[in-house]
Each structure stands twice: as structure tokens, then as C-alpha cells.
Structure 1
Amino acid sequence: MERTSSIRLKAMARQHKAEVMIAGEQLRLRLHDGKLIKDRRYHFRTYPNCFVAHELTDWLVSHKEAADRATAASLMQHLMDHDILHHVCDKRAEFKDAKLLYRFRKDDGTFPFNTEVKIFMRGQQLYEQLIADKNSILQLREEHGVTYKRSFPGCQLIDYLIQNGEADSRRQGLELCRALQEHGIIQHVGKKHDFFDSGLLYQFCINFRRRRRLSELLTENEQVNDEAVMASTQEDNNSESPFLLRRNSSKERNRAFSVSSNKDSKQITGGRRSSLSSLQFHSAGFPPLQLLSHPAVRCNPKSVLKRKVTCEELLAPGAPFIKKVLTVIGDALGWGFVVRGMAPCYMQAVDPGSPAAAAGVKVK
């Protein structure tokens, strides 16, 4: 449940980021058309393609994009927080309703084209191509008795990518489509499946051509934050979590632990049986353990690695490592392993009687 919630929150955050980028670009084009963005001179220096903050605030209020000047400033601050615009000299991290010059990063080439942005732009380009195509694969289709507008089978999208030179092979096309799904650009129509090269139906989550109202950005941001707070609260209050441990005071010296449960408890000294859905993959790699002794404490188990290993070392020719693919089919209790680390990840613990152990997964 925790991992599902985490994935949903990441998807919401990425989709909100996409909406901010689209709204920012639409605003930039409107300001260029309205001549608010132009070359300006200040202290014997010319700043190209910039605007005056208080003039933009006037424009936002007069065009009913913001209810008042304070809301307008909050909207522009939101764009600054997402690297859409910045102060021309980067001396200010906040947007002030004053005679200060700001500029859209796309107008001066400082927009951060990271992997997330590149995938977003790839998705936008693909959307525009499919909308403009007379024989577009975006059609009214039915799956399990439900009709979906502008949907497409996964296999047809991969066919389109290969035919139009967007992918060299079906495997490359599948990787691109899964990246688009991961970044909240496309999704299964029923939100039940990952992307597969099959007849399952998918849709674009984002209508890139829809006109965005800037006031929607703050509302969406509040919704994302509220979801994050709720997920965090549910995680903290989850007394059934397999990661809630109680120290056994009678065996304090050997540092044994017992699993807290409403029905019974059992001693454990090594890896625990747990569901992969309760793992959180972040920089620390392993969720904090909550010790239910008198003072509540959070801690991480000691790493099983004797030394740090890099991805380059693992993949280097002649390295003493074997690449092997293992398929773990979970049962009612989960998969039975704990993953830690980041680039690369590694096994922290494996339950001896779990599906992971049966598949050959080992602690290394």
C-alpha cells in the first residue's frame, strides 16, 4: 500500500510539473504577443527578452488570471520554483511585485533540460504528431465494455514509433512508452496495467492543447501537498506494518527483536517477511524502522555490504560478477526480500521460506 501511494504521489507531482510547464509556455507566448516581453535597458545595460514584475502583475489582474496582486505574485513564485522564469541577474529567489526585471528561462537558454523535461517534450511532440495525423491511432475504442475517447492499443503506438523513426526496435519503443507512463504522460485507460506491447488500451493523461488558467496551478499544488500529508499520516499510523518492531527487554544484550502484531509475535534475528508494496525506494533505500520502546526511535539496519560497489564496476568486462535475471512470483504475504541502496541497489535481507528465496535471490 505504501509503495502504491508513493507511486501515485510521484505521478501526481510529475503531472503537476507538466501542467506548470505548459501553463508557463502558454503565458510566455501570450506575453510576447502583448509586447510585455522585450529588450529593456537598466543602469547602462540592455537585458533582452525580459519583463517588469509590476507590469506583469497588472496584466495578470486585468486579464483575470489572478484575483489580486498577492495571488499574481504567488503564481509567478510558483513558476520560479519550477525553473520556468528567474530574475535576470539571479540575485533574487523570490518574485517581488516591484520594478524588477525577470525573464523566462526558455528565452535565454537557461531552461534545465534534464531527463524529466526531455521525456515531457518527447511526449508533447508525440501528442502533437498523433493529433495532426489524418489516420491517427487516437480513436474511440472499447475495453471491457467501457468506451474511451482518443485511446490506442499499446502495440499500435509502438508500430507508429518504429514507422516514423521515433524508435529503432520494438524494445526501444517499449522503453520509451514505459518512460512516458512513468512520467505521467500516458496511462492505461483503467489505470490497472503498466505499458505492454499488446492490445491493452492507453490514453494521454495530458491534453497539451488545452488552455491552462494560471489559478489552477496553485489549486493543483495544494492537492498534491494534501495527498502527501495524508499518505505520510497513514504510513505513521499503520500499526499493521511489518516494519514496526518491539525491542525485547529481556534479551536486550543480544539485540533480538520481536514483530509487533495484534494476534501474536515471533522472534526474528535476520531478514523479515514483508510485502514489496511496503518498501520505499529513496536515497537511503530502506524505510525507517520504528522501535516501540519507551522513547519512539527511528533507525536503519546496518548495511550488509563490506564495501561500496559502483555500477561501472558491476558492468565492467571481466568483472567477477554474473548478470542473472530472476523471476519472483509473490504469494499472499508478499515477496520476502528487502532492497536497499541506490545505483546500484542490493539485497539487505531475504526470508528463507519466501518466494524470493525459492527463486534464488540471495543476500550479497
Structure 2
Amino acid sequence: MEAVTQRGRTASFSEKHEIYLIGEQLRRDMHASVLIRDRRYHLRNYRQCFAGNEAVDWLVRCKHCSTRGASVAGMRILQNYGIFHHVCDDHKFKDDQLFYRFRRDDDTSADKDLILFYTGIRIYLKMTKKKGLVRDFIQGGQTYHNAFMGSKFAEWLTGQKEAVSREDAIYLGRQLLENNIIRHVTDDHHFRNAESLLYQFSVDFDRRRILADVFKLPATMSRLSSLRLSLSSVESQDDHTLPKPSVHTDDRDEPYTGLLVRSGSWSSEYEQGNDSGEVLAPKSVMLRQATADELESPDTPYVKHRMRIISDSVGYGFVLRGDGPTYVQTVDPTGPAASAGLKVRQYVYAVNCVNVLQKNHKDVGRTIMSNENVLDITVLMHRRDVSNA
């Protein structure tokens, strides 16, 4: 059961981790380029900050993005994830003489996922410098590269004062695993203080990333339509450089539907094409899709959870998929649905008190969009996830 829980969490964290890493690598590179420094404006000092227009100059020059407009769009995505902020929290990122600061530089982040991720980065960098702690192991005839023992890891965390006690170290190890920063080598165990259990880092901290990589992540794509609108008055000539959404309004059997706008139609997730030009749907987040009969069975491990979502100017901020039952494929982490507690892999049981369990995503989408601005939704979530809701 522990392994299934971990596998189910993997997809939801991996894209967020990519965004965190893009932001962290930018922070380090900007420090190295002395873009981040103490600045003075109107007799006031601002420590460890960067100017928006200087950052855009640098991003284009270093080929992080091809245009200034795309650079602003990418930086706003990082800002939406809480990676940096305006020094007075008064402005979104702009190509202007405005000062911004990475939250890791002023230690102001309140996002527990981001704080834990920074802890994971620090631990990784320290561990990989310790000879013999992370190495290759042979177990059961299988070689596991760059692995470490659970017992040695807990001992090391305590010795490095990353944890105050062995119990605290085990708890930290579990937090890192549940957030998919580390993993058991075969995904069969949670984190334990045992020599027989081997773990690896799930995140490739060393691979180089550029800001434009944020446009390749489905988790960020739902925000680009609103970013395009907000940027049009600033850099309309660069608008064509941003990914464009597809809007489905015909009767084709679309493989997925995104509920991202409040008009009579809805935007899809960004379609991805292969070399032949064929449109491909994103891979489902479900490990195994349950049937409606399974979900309604008296013995089902799923429980009902009701929530109210109030749309913002973009929409509700989630994507549905499935032919009955319908499930949540993607949730915009900065949108209203995420704030209300909606999560990926939850099945949609009822919309505005109407049972939709056996309806496909198109019908559920029409039902949702017929009620403007406010959505009362009942979802089915696995019992193992209830404590995390």
C-alpha cells in the first residue's frame, strides 16, 4: 500500500519540481552574473534583488528565451509559483526598472512544498560531496546506481544537524519520499531506518535547464492564455513566440477537456504534435482507472468530498478527462480549484448536486460551464489521500 501511495504522488510533484529547479538554477546563475545585488532607490536600500529589465536583457542574451515577451511570460510563471516576488509585493514581473527578490534569498516563502524542496537541494549537494554515502549497490542481482541506505541516511541527517534526532530524521526522510524528492529503488517501501532498504534521489538536480523549459510543462500551460492577454499591451510584437492554446467548440471526440475559461466553450490542455503533425493527448495521470460500478460499490476505498470553487478571470483552473467516470487530469496550482482543495486523480461524482459519475468529460464539462462562476462539486478520493486533503 505504501508503494502505491508513492507512485500515485509522482506525477503531481514532478512538474512542480521542474519549475522549482528552473527557478533555483536561474537564481544561482543570476548571482554569478551579479544581477542579484544590493540596490538603492529613493534613499532606501534593497538587499539581494534584481531589476526586471536587466533580468530580461540577460535572459535573452543567454538564450533562456528568444524574445523579451517570452522572458516576461516565463518569469511570471515562476512568480506564480512563489519562487520570487516584488520587493514590496506590489507588482507582477515586468520588463521595467522594478526590483524583485528570490524568496530563497530572503527566506520569506510560506509554501511548504517549496521549502521542503530547497531542503532536498541542500541535502543532495551535501550528500554528493560525502564520499561513499551515495554509491552503487548490488542487491538481489540488480545494480542500483547512486543509492544510499536508509539507516545511513538517517544517521547522516542527524550528524549534519538537518534533523535534531533519529526520529526527526526518519520523519524528514518520509517527507522527502512523499514529496517525490527521494524514492525507494523499487518503489516498494516508504522511508525506513533500515540497512536493507536502498533509496535514490528522484530529481535530477544536475541537468541544466533554461527558462523556456517552463513552456513544455502541462502544469504551466493553463496559465499562458491569461499571460498572453496581460502581455499583449507590453510586447504584442512578441506574442507569436508564446505557445497558443487550442479551443474545442465542435463535436469531435476530444480526448481531454480543460475547464479554464468562463465562456460557453472551454480550452483544452495544450496539444502536442508528433513529427507527422498528428495531435497527441497527454498521458493519463491514472495508474488504473476505476469503473463507475467499482466507485459506487459498498466496499469501495473511495470516499466523497464536497467543495465549492469560485472561478477567477481565467476560469476554474483544472482539466478533466475520462469517458465515465470522469477524473481530474490536471490542476493549475495557482488557480481557484487548487485553493479549494481539488487534486489530480479525483473522480467527479456530482456537479451542483447532480450525479455525473457515468458521464464522460464532455458532458461533465457542459454541466460545469452551464453554471457561471460558482461550482459545487463532489469528488471521490481514495481513503489514503483523505488525511492529505
- TM class, shorter-chain normalised? 0.5 to 0.7
Match of 2:147 among 151, 175, 188: 151
Counterparts of residues 39-118 of structure 1 (less than 5 Å): 39-42=38-41, 45-92=44-91, 94-107=92-105, 109=106, 111-118=108-115
Give me the whole-angstrom Cα distance separating, in 2, the residues matched to 1:115 and 1:173.
17
Task: Give the 4+ runs in structure 1 shifted more than 4 A.
Answer: 6-10, 39-46, 162-170, 221-229, 278-288, 292-301, 337-343
Q: How do residues 146-295 of structure 1 correspond to structure 2 at under 5 angstroms?
A: 146-164=142-160, 166-167=162-163, 170-198=166-194, 199-222=196-219, 230-231=284-285, 239-244=291-296, 272-275=298-301, 289-290=349-350, 291=355
Contact 2:72 2:95 in 1 (8 A): yes
1:267 corresponds to: none
Q: Write the distance in 2 (CA, Å) between the matches of 1:181 and 1:201.
A: 12
Structure 2 unmatched ranges of 5 or more: 223-268, 270-280, 307-339, 368-375
| 1:80 Cα offset (Å) | 0.5
2:98 maps to a residue whose letter is: L
In structure 1, give the amino acid aligned to 2:86: H
- Note closer, same or farther for the CA distance 1:143–1:74 as it changes in structure 2 (3 Å cut): farther
SS in 2 for 1:65: coil
CA distance in 2 between counterparts of 1:223 and 1:9 reads: 20
Distance change (3 Å), C-alpha of 1:241 and 1:111? farther
Query: Is contact 1:279-1:287 (8 Å) kept?
Result: no
The TM-score normalised by the length of structure 2 is: 0.56
Q: Cα 1:217–1:111, aligned 2, differ >3 Å: closer, same or farther?
A: farther
Deviations 1:129-181 (A, max 9, x none): 321113x2211112343322111232332343355555565543322211110
Query: What code does the residue aligned with 2:182 have?
Result: I
Amino acid at match of 2:141: G
* 166 and 339 in structure 1: CA distance in 2 versus 1, 3 angstrom threshold: closer
Q: In the alignment, what sits opposite 2:129?
A: 132
Amino acid at match of 1:289: Y
Per-residue Cα deviation, 1:53-93 (whole angstroms, up to 9, x for no partner): 2221121111111122222112211210121222233222x
Corresponding residue number in structure 1 for 2:261: none
The CA distance in 2 between the partners of 1:158 and 1:44, in whole Å, is 49
What secondary structure is seen at the aligned counterpart in 1 of 2:188?
coil
Q: C-alpha separation between the residues in 1 aligned to 2:384 and 2:36? A: 50
Distance apart, 1:284 and its partner CA: 8.8
Conserved? CA contact 2:182–2:203, under 8 Å: yes
* TM-score normalised by L of structure 1: 0.59
Larger radius of gyration: 1
Partners of 1:48 and 1:33 lie apart in 2 by 16
Whether contact under 8 Å (2:6, 2:177) holds in the other structure is: no
Go from structure 1 to structure 2 and tell me whether the alpha carbon gap of 1:160 and 1:46 turns closer, same or farther (over 3 Å shift).
closer
Q: Is 2:56–2:71's contact at 8 Å kept on the other side of the alignment?
A: yes
What is the SS of the residue equivalent to 1:129?
A: helix
Say yes or no: does 1:31 pair with 2:91: no
Q: Secondary structure at 2:145's aligned position in 1? A: strand
Match of 2:116 among 119, 129, 143: 119
Q: Residue 304 of structure 2 contacts residue 378 of structure 2 at CA under 8 Å; is this kept in 1?
A: no
- Return the offset for 1:186: 0.6
Gaps of 5+ in 1: 245-258, 260-271, 302-336, 346-364
Is the 1:243–1:289 Cα contact (8 Å) retained in structure 2? no
1:154/1:200 contact within 8 Å kept? yes
The code of the aligned residue for 1:55 comes to E
Q: Find the residue that maps to 1:151 and give its secondary structure.
A: strand
* Partner amino acid, structure 2, of 1:96: K
The residue type equivalent to 1:175 in the other structure is Y
1:158/1:170 contact within 8 Å kept? yes
Q: Give the equivalent residue in structure 2 for 1:324.
A: none
Q: Secondary structure in 1 aligned to 2:217?
A: helix
RMSD, aligned CA: 4.4
How far apart in 2 are the matches of 1:284 and 1:29? 34
Q: Distance in 1 between matches of 2:169 and 2:80?
A: 33
Give distance in 1, aligned partners of 2:26 and 2:385.
43
**1:138–1:150 contact (8 Å) kept in structure 2:** yes
- Counting matched residue pairs gives 275
